[in-house]
Chain A
């Protein structure tokens, strides 16, 4: 018995250490965001007094337009999530429920497209957008994120559809429901967990993308928060660290909240992926 008590104590100690390691970076950045001055170095962990100046500055300063960037990002993320989820669902549903000529070819194509490093496509996406005069528009990002969704997330959703019983649809079809009705009334409600999961992925993905967004969005007032944060991190790092910290909190907060609120779905999606492979 004594041995197990020692074992438990060690386990608790480990858990406490791991918790500190997990929490420390977040706590540190939040504290830094409220610390007066701009330096990264601070003799004490907690500041002598707290200030919200850095946040105000990010919203009111001429070169930082976090208010506007928030709206931009929100717009892009919401539309990409809606269209992207719709497209993923359409593709996954067709491939899961119907047998038609060329079906395997479509699946193989999606699989192959997934294996290319997507950075490789950046140059030509840029040229393509230039060709269609879409550079520096939010529409371009929404289109790219939405159309990328079926390539990236199709197999997870299809795997989920595959596990749903066929009998439900069959009986609905016998009762005379059209494919579209079956899809909207039966399949969609049943697959809520995986759809929420893929929607979260899309939302977060478009929220934090700084590579493509930086390439496409030229004018400062069109930027997203991720591009803004990237600039804060690269150009203002040492001189004005606390401002970067405040920006970091602003960018991370909505995502962290989404994760905490929708935790159940994310956990479900993850384990579904593992068990059903």
Chain B
């Protein structure tokens, strides 16, 4: 009795496809061999340069060479392009290795079938298995290739950049090279006075903002829901529809509208206040007022959603609880504090945490309203209402401090990750939801 499975696996390990041919799956074997040849041909040409590029980030600077009487710029290595190209090739390699493993495993399994005297699957049967037995894998393949290139790769790149010195003015390709610097960016950000002062203040405001905006939306939404749901209020649906309107306007538009409403010079709000003799307020130009305004506008835009959510949750509270409370002579306040609120907090706790995490990342609310301003010379490239994410954006697109921006991104990730691990893993959608229903 030969060990057909082992032999097939070894043959496939040498060159995927051989094992299949050994197993007398000729067409499959030829296709696998072709994939194999294509892969080897591709990586022979690219892999070395990819790894060299990632490790060294280029060695030759752009230089000036005297040609005749004039100096000409000679292209050097473009560190950032080398890094991206390297990562692309590594991801293709990853996919190739994965295919390789699958092909070897296939040869092994078919070998096992042969050992036990079973019939080897014909080509048409193999093709059908792709859509039956391996259905989930097949369905996941296309989305995952997309996710690998468009989400994993960019984030990987973003993370790696934090460990380089890719920043203006002296490390910008193609003129200059970029180098790996380890944790220097993080150390600078957290301890070097010029950066750390800004960092800690922006971080503090980010947390303040996340708490304020979450609390205002959450309790604002609850109060409005209670107001509508109250006994004796008529036309409930009418009120709900009207109060839902801010939700139906895209935030891009409403934020830009609000920006004009609160305009310090010509905005109608100051104009109306003027009628009552109140002097103009710098809604967006005074640091404290600006913080107040962004929270207010965010509440305006966010309360309708929470209201909707709360209205839904309120209807799930059993009526008999209130009836029992009525029998015991409880007041409206007691009913709210003892029945309504605990219930709501229990049901919506995950939402509350998700909203908190979302607000840490709430780029639009700040960027569209104040752009992070009012600017201050006290901070390094940041303004009074800048969150970590808007600061990150500015550092990337206005100030070319790519490495610092990436380091901030990683710190935001760590914050969100901590919050999420505490909460999200507890939710049903992630937990082992085994198919018992």
Do the two chains belong together in a single complex? yes
Is the Cβ of A252 less than 8 Å from the Cβ of B253? Answer: yes
Is the Cβ of A91 less than 8 Å from the Cβ of B140? Answer: yes
The stretch from A46-54, A56-64, A117-125 touching chain B is: A117-125
- Produce 1/0 per residue, B123-160, CB < 8 A to A: 00000000110011101101110110111111101100
- Produce 1/0 per residue, A120-159, CB < 8 A to B: 1111110110010000000000011011101100011011
Q: Which residue of A lies closest to B414 (CB)?
A: A115
Q: Provide a sorted-by-A list of 22 A–B residue pairs whose CB atoms are within 8 angstroms.
A: A15-B233, A22-B242, A25-B257, A29-B253, A87-B142, A94-B135, A113-B152, A125-B154, A128-B84, A128-B150, A131-B81, A146-B146, A159-B428, A162-B433, A163-B437, A251-B253, A255-B248, A271-B309, A271-B313, A273-B351, A274-B312, A277-B427
Selected from A26, A143, A275, the residue in CB contact (under 8 A) with B312 is A275
Is the Cβ of B420 less than 8 Å from the Cβ of A22? Answer: no
Is the Cβ of A23 less than 8 Å from the Cβ of B245? Answer: yes
What's the minimum C-beta distance from A266 to chain B, rounded to whole angstroms? 8
Docked CA distance A119–B409 (Å):
8
Is the Cβ of B267 less than 8 Å from the Cβ of A123? Answer: no
Docked CA distance A25–B246 (Å):
9
Docked CA distance A112–B245 (Å):
34
Counting chain A CB atoms within 10 Å of each CB, the highest count among B147, B254, B393 belongs to B147
Query: Beyond A18-B243, A128-B149, A178-B132, is A155–B253 a contact (Cβ under 8 Å)?
Result: no
Residues on the A chain within 8 Å of B144, using CB: 91, 106
5 additional A-B pairs beyond A156-B429, A179-B132, beta carbons within 8 Å, are A106-B144, A112-B417, A128-B84, A207-B250, A260-B248
Is the Cβ of B247 less than 8 Å from the Cβ of A15? Answer: no
Q: Which residue of A lies closest to B232 (CB)?
A: A8
Residues on the B chain within 8 Å of A229, using CB: 252-253, 256
Tell me, yes or no, whether A186 is within 8 Å of chain B by CB: no
Query: Beyond A159-B429, A226-B252, A233-B256, is A277–B242 a contact (Cβ under 8 Å)?
Result: no
Q: Which residue of A lies closest to B254 (CB)?
A: A25
What's the minimum C-beta distance from B363 to chain A, rounded to whole angstroms? 6
The stretch from B13-21, B43-51, B57-65, B223-231 touching chain A is: B223-231
Q: Which residue of A lies closest to B162 (CB)?
A: A120
B interface residues (Cβ-Cβ under 8 A, vs A): 80-81, 84-85, 88, 131-132, 135-137, 139-140, 142-144, 146-147, 149-155, 157-158, 161, 224, 227-228, 230, 232-233, 239, 242-254, 256-261, 263, 266-268, 271, 300, 304-305, 308-309, 312-313, 316, 347-348, 350-351, 361, 363, 388-389, 392-393, 396, 402, 405-406, 409, 412-413, 416-417, 420, 424, 427-430, 433, 435, 437
> In terms of DSSP, what is the predominant structure of the interface of chain A?
helix
Selected from B232, B233, B244, B406, the residue in CB contact (under 8 A) with A120 is B406
Residues on the B chain within 8 Å of A8, using CB: 230, 232-233
Residues on the A chain within 8 Å of B150, using CB: 125, 128, 143-144, 147-148
